[in-house]
Structure 1
Amino acid sequence: MSENRTRFRLDQRRAPIYEALEQFRQMRVVPFDVPGHKRGRGNPELTAFLGQQCVGVDVNSMKPLDNLCHPVSVIREAEELAADAFGAAHAFLMVGGTTSSVQSMVLTVCKRGDEIILPRNVHRSVLNALVLCGAVPVYVNPEVDKRLGISLGMKREQVAKAIKEHPNAVAVLVNNPTYYGICSDLRAIVKMAHDAGMLCLADEAHGTHFYFGGGSLPVSAMAAGADMASVSMHKSGGSLTQSSLLLIGPNVHPGYVRQIINLTQTTSGSYLLMSSLDISRRNLALRGRQVFHQVADMAEYAREEINAVGGYYAFGKELCNGNSVFDFDTTKLSVHTLDIGLAGIEVYDILRDEYDIQIEFGDIGNILAYLSIGDRPQEIERLVSALAEIKRRYHTDGAGLLSQEYIDPVVAASPQEAFYAPKKSLPLRETEGMVCSEFVMCYPPGIPILAPGERITKEILNYIEYAKAKGCSMTGPEDPDILHLNVLA
């Protein structure tokens, strides 16, 4: 490749997939291929809903537009630009969400029987991957903040102990950050993993903006030396829902990763999703540092105003302790609600139903308002005012409210072994002491309360019933009403 060509490809003002689609649109090609709506003509209601501009570029892979399964032209250029923007050795455009990125990451490093060290408060996509490949989790159970009821990061000494006790583990996986914005000491964990001959993987579903923090936000996985990172561009990066990036460092073979991705990812990659990744990467590369500085400032202002209301606790960097909370993502607006006598999910419902404000999630004790590149100060003011009014109208005694979000699991079998084992369905309360063979979780955030292979305890059953009664959106089991659970026969 010539030096001029290299400079041309690394010009972050370019968006090669978007440019190729624009050129294709102007050519007025007659379509005798899929999709069958034929640029929207065959589905006028869909065209009216989404617009001709959108359905006109909902096209299939073809030579001028490259192929996601084996990119050689514009998609490859877009991946190289993404790798450059994020400081990675290679980047993969993912159209199956960050779930697909996380699963590809785990499947790349793990095979049946391998051990992988990870915190238990991972997204279900991590455990799904273990079901698929047969790897065995070695859990580093996180500490819990007693006041907030939330799980924290992994302590350095916990990781060191797990590595020492499981020297044949293939990798350490880290949340960077957690849903609540809490970060472990990623640089130290990367070094420990590498010193032991292991890889380090990062779930950065909620950390896209770390790559454009300019030192004011926690360290990104690639900057910390991690080997692979799953980056949810559609969350804080501005791309369309279900679009994501998988980043790798220099010690991982990109050709093998592509083969792993192609095991599960669609062969009909959406050009709407890919072009949104391309355009969003360009936007972040050119303006991300300035934009995320403003987002962090808005979040800090919101924290101050919400805490001034009283009763609520919008937590921030004061949680940092140098270890289990090594750093905090200041763009995360997480608010503890129990002191006004309401569960987080109750505040979530009131905000939506009575104030037309949709926040990211509410759980047993907290809410999360997700701030990113599209937020404006006037919306922050509206949220603060609504929370103040909710406190005035609904403040009550909080006696009897649960606070603990995280319960340490008792692992009795590997996720794959339990998922595929003979099973039986029992009424919820009759499952105490049994081994679960399916997932149970509140979504969002999608962190399992129970995963296949874990023993069901009275504490867990109390939590499930309480979360259901409070209105948490429960997912996972075969029984949609979660009146029964599948357990090992």
Structure 2
Amino acid sequence: MSYLNQNKTPLFTALKEHHKNNVIPFDVPGHKHGRGLKEFTDYVGSTVMELDVNSMKCLDNICNPIGVIKEAEELAAYAYGSDKAFFLVNGTTSGVQAMIMSACQPGDKIILPRNAHKSAVSGLILSGAIPIYIQPEINSDLGIAMGVTVESVEETIGRHPDAKAVFLINPTYYGATSNIKDIVRVAHRNAMAVLVDEAHGAHMSFHEDFPMSAMEAGADMSAVSTHKTGGSLTQSSLLLLREGIIDPFIVKKNLSLMQTTSASYLLMASIDVARKQLAVEGPELLQKVLDLTRDARSRINKIEGLYAFGTELIGTQGVHSFDESKLGVNVRKIGLTGFEVYDILIDEYNIQVELADYYNILAIVSLGDHKEQLDALVEALVDIAEKYKRDEEIKVVNSFLKNPDVIVSPRDAFYSNKKAIKFEDAEGEISGESIMAYPPGIPIVSPGERISKDIIEHIMLLKEEESLLQGTEDPYAEYIRVLGLGSKR
């Protein structure tokens, strides 16, 4: 591909030109430039509503782009070092699902870490693929899962040489990355595609101090949440493809199943501008992100009882590299759970962090952050460590579950007849639903898996901490639907 001018924003430019023409709309959307939804328009602004338009010749169509969307996608592919890029308006979830559906047919095996996002489980249900789980490495001091090792991937491939694909996370929610380049080499040597959930790595290609991206490592596909760390609007993402193992036509066909035919031009235009900003100004902007997080991490580590972990983890099991924009803080030595600190921060300091677990909180630092915001977080943590500290630190227990027993494929379990039973009575049953704390949205149990005593105890612990649980038909997770097969052993 010849050089493409990254200063261009073909879709956003076309959208602005269309807006300038003040066309009289007799098409959808029905609010007609905001006039039909006055209260909302008065609050968000008329320009936003006037840019909320439908597909038309001058603005191209996401289902079969041949104009400005196609040109914008080509610029994105060039910026990220892929052969093709597809705009996503159903989030990275739709990209993960399309990746798995493009690599696997019903009954095919796919190797993936147990800490994969719920979108991967949805991809298994939609594709009919059979999961072969790899246990990620666990840092017992922090109580969180890291990446997977090359050795564990090799060993799993040796036991399942007929698998069609290897699925990776790059980086994990807390910033750890696996040795993705060597894993790609191992997978390709065994004729397996490599699919990468890069939801939290949209920025990593644009500054040398961040971990290697999936495309740089030679992966076949990656789904990238430009909205999480790249600056675009919520729900907008990219699906990247390296041609070879996976047919681009198959990807396009699967995306047409996953995505709306009425794609938001606000979302797509924001991807176009975010790509330009990363490609043109990324190194400078991301250096500021690094400066902010390095300073905040250093200051937090001077607070007695708190530990803001970072690049010192590189070289430990499951941590080949580390994304410093993920500001994880271990709080257990001040006698508080991460859930408690999460609540205190929002309730008393008006600070919203990304997530909490039993031992940690996680703050995401990105392009829109400034020193004032990081100062407020550090000062709040100083205050919390003084005001709320308890004498007895939180005891580290095994907060991450072992690989489950997959009894029935996720797809078969999803479509099977089910019955609802009290969750605490479900030991030995085969789950018909997923249960997860959200965020991060990593299933604790998925359809088709045996519900163990450990799983029940883990969920009950999360409920005690008032963690937000999702996935069950019962919104309070008091009941779970299990396969009505007399499955209990």
Q: Same fold (TM over 0.5)?
A: yes
Q: How many positions carry a matched residue from both structures?
A: 482
Return the alpha-carbon distance in structure 2 between the equivalents of residues 398 and 456 of structure 1.
Answer: 32
* Aligned residues of 1:207 and 1:236 also touching (Cα < 8 A): yes
Return the alpha-carbon distance in structure 2 between the equivalents of residues 36 and 238 of structure 1.
Answer: 28
* Aligned residues of 2:336 and 2:393 also touching (Cα < 8 A): no
Query: 3-state SS of the aligned residue for 1:309?
Result: coil
Instruction: Please name the residue that 2:424 is paired with.
Output: 429
The code of the aligned residue for 1:462 comes to E
The code of the aligned residue for 1:469 comes to E
Instruction: Please name the residue that 1:440 is paired with.
Output: 435
- 1:400/1:233 Cα in 2 relative to 1: closer, same or farther (>3 Å)? closer
Return the alpha-carbon distance in structure 2 between the equivalents of residues 400 and 179 of structure 1.
Answer: 22
What does 1:213-228 align with in structure 2 at a 5 Å threshold?
A: 213-214=207-208, 216-228=209-221
Instruction: Please name the residue that 1:478 is paired with.
Output: 473
Selected match of 2:149 from 150, 155, 158: 155
CA displacement 1:299-350 (0-9 Å, x = unmatched):
1111111110011111111112265211111111001111111111110000
Are 2:238 and 1:248 aligned? no
Are 2:282 and 1:288 aligned? yes
1:410 to partner: Cα distance: 2.5
Instruction: Please name the residue that 2:487 is paired with.
Output: none
Return the alpha-carbon distance in structure 2 between the equivalents of residues 213 and 404 of structure 1.
Answer: 35
Instruction: Please name the residue that 1:455 is paired with.
Output: 450
Query: 3-state SS of the aligned residue for 1:304?
Result: helix
1:106 to partner: Cα distance: 0.9
1:254 to partner: Cα distance: 2.0
Are 2:350 and 1:368 aligned? no
* Aligned residues of 1:150 and 1:404 also touching (Cα < 8 A): no
Instruction: Please name the residue that 1:416 is paired with.
Output: 411
Selected match of 1:49 from 29, 43, 47: 43
Return the alpha-carbon distance in structure 2 between the equivalents of residues 398 and 217 of structure 1.
Answer: 37
Are 2:256 and 1:258 aligned? no
Return the alpha-carbon distance in structure 2 between the equivalents of residues 288 and 399 of structure 1.
Answer: 41
Instruction: Please name the residue that 1:468 is paired with.
Output: 463
Return the alpha-carbon distance in structure 2 between the equivalents of residues 83 and 398 of structure 1.
Answer: 52
Deviates most, 431-440 or 404-413: 404-413
Return the alpha-carbon distance in structure 1 between the equivalents of residues 401 and 465 of structure 2.
Answer: 18
Are 2:485 and 1:487 aligned? no
Instruction: Please name the residue that 2:323 is paired with.
Output: 329
Selected match of 1:106 from 87, 91, 100: 100
What does 1:63-462 align with in structure 2 at a 5 Å threshold?
A: 63-214=57-208, 216-251=209-244, 252-321=246-315, 324-398=318-392, 401=395, 403-408=397-402, 409-462=404-457
Return the alpha-carbon distance in structure 2 between the equivalents of residues 456 and 159 of structure 1.
Answer: 25
Return the alpha-carbon distance in structure 2 between the equivalents of residues 410 and 311 of structure 1.
Answer: 38
Return the alpha-carbon distance in structure 2 between the equivalents of residues 56 and 365 of structure 1.
Answer: 46
1:129 to partner: Cα distance: 0.8
1:292 to partner: Cα distance: 1.1
- Structure 1's consecutive aligned runs of 4 or more residues displaced over 3 angstroms after TM superposition are 397-405
Return the alpha-carbon distance in structure 2 between the equivalents of residues 207 and 247 of structure 1.
Answer: 13
The answer for unaligned runs of 5 or more in structure 2 is 485-489
The code of the aligned residue for 2:475 comes to P
1:151 to partner: Cα distance: 0.8
Return the alpha-carbon distance in structure 2 between the equivalents of residues 80 and 400 of structure 1.
Answer: 50
Deviates most, 445-454 or 416-425: 416-425
* Aligned residues of 1:178 and 1:206 also touching (Cα < 8 A): yes
CA displacement 1:47-70 (0-9 Å, x = unmatched):
112211100010000001000000
1:297 to partner: Cα distance: 1.9
Return the alpha-carbon distance in structure 1 between the equivalents of residues 100 and 290 of structure 2.
Answer: 31
* Aligned residues of 1:338 and 1:401 also touching (Cα < 8 A): yes
Return the alpha-carbon distance in structure 1 between the equivalents of residues 398 and 392 of structure 2.
Answer: 14
1:423 to partner: Cα distance: 1.3
CA displacement 1:412-446 (0-9 Å, x = unmatched):
22111222112111111110111111010000000
TM score, norm. by length of structure 1: 0.97
1:401 to partner: Cα distance: 4.9
* Aligned residues of 1:143 and 1:151 also touching (Cα < 8 A): yes
* Aligned residues of 1:151 and 1:405 also touching (Cα < 8 A): no
1:143 to partner: Cα distance: 2.0
Return the alpha-carbon distance in structure 2 between the equivalents of residues 398 and 481 of structure 1.
Answer: 31
Return the alpha-carbon distance in structure 2 between the equivalents of residues 78 and 394 of structure 1.
Answer: 51
Return the alpha-carbon distance in structure 2 between the equivalents of residues 105 and 364 of structure 1.
Answer: 32
Deviates most, 364-373 or 411-420: 411-420
Return the alpha-carbon distance in structure 1 between the equivalents of residues 391 and 121 of structure 2.
Answer: 38
* Aligned residues of 1:156 and 1:323 also touching (Cα < 8 A): no
Are 2:19 and 1:25 aligned? yes
* Aligned residues of 2:140 and 2:396 also touching (Cα < 8 A): no
CA displacement 1:156-192 (0-9 Å, x = unmatched):
1110011111111111011000001010000000000
TM score, norm. by length of structure 2: 0.97
CA displacement 1:218-251 (0-9 Å, x = unmatched):
1000000000000000000000000000000121
Return the alpha-carbon distance in structure 1 between the equivalents of residues 205 and 392 of structure 2.
Answer: 40
The code of the aligned residue for 1:330 comes to E
* Aligned residues of 2:359 and 2:394 also touching (Cα < 8 A): no
* Aligned residues of 1:346 and 1:471 also touching (Cα < 8 A): no
* Aligned residues of 2:141 and 2:396 also touching (Cα < 8 A): no
* Aligned residues of 1:202 and 1:228 also touching (Cα < 8 A): yes
Query: 3-state SS of the aligned residue for 1:467?
Result: helix
* Aligned residues of 2:76 and 2:275 also touching (Cα < 8 A): yes
Query: 3-state SS of the aligned residue for 2:301?
Result: helix
- 1:398/1:174 Cα in 2 relative to 1: closer, same or farther (>3 Å)? farther
1:378 to partner: Cα distance: 1.4
Identity %: 48
Return the alpha-carbon distance in structure 1 between the equivalents of residues 206 and 399 of structure 2.
Answer: 31
Deviates most, 118-127 or 459-468: 459-468
- 1:398/1:414 Cα in 2 relative to 1: closer, same or farther (>3 Å)? farther
The code of the aligned residue for 2:428 comes to G
* Aligned residues of 2:117 and 2:441 also touching (Cα < 8 A): yes
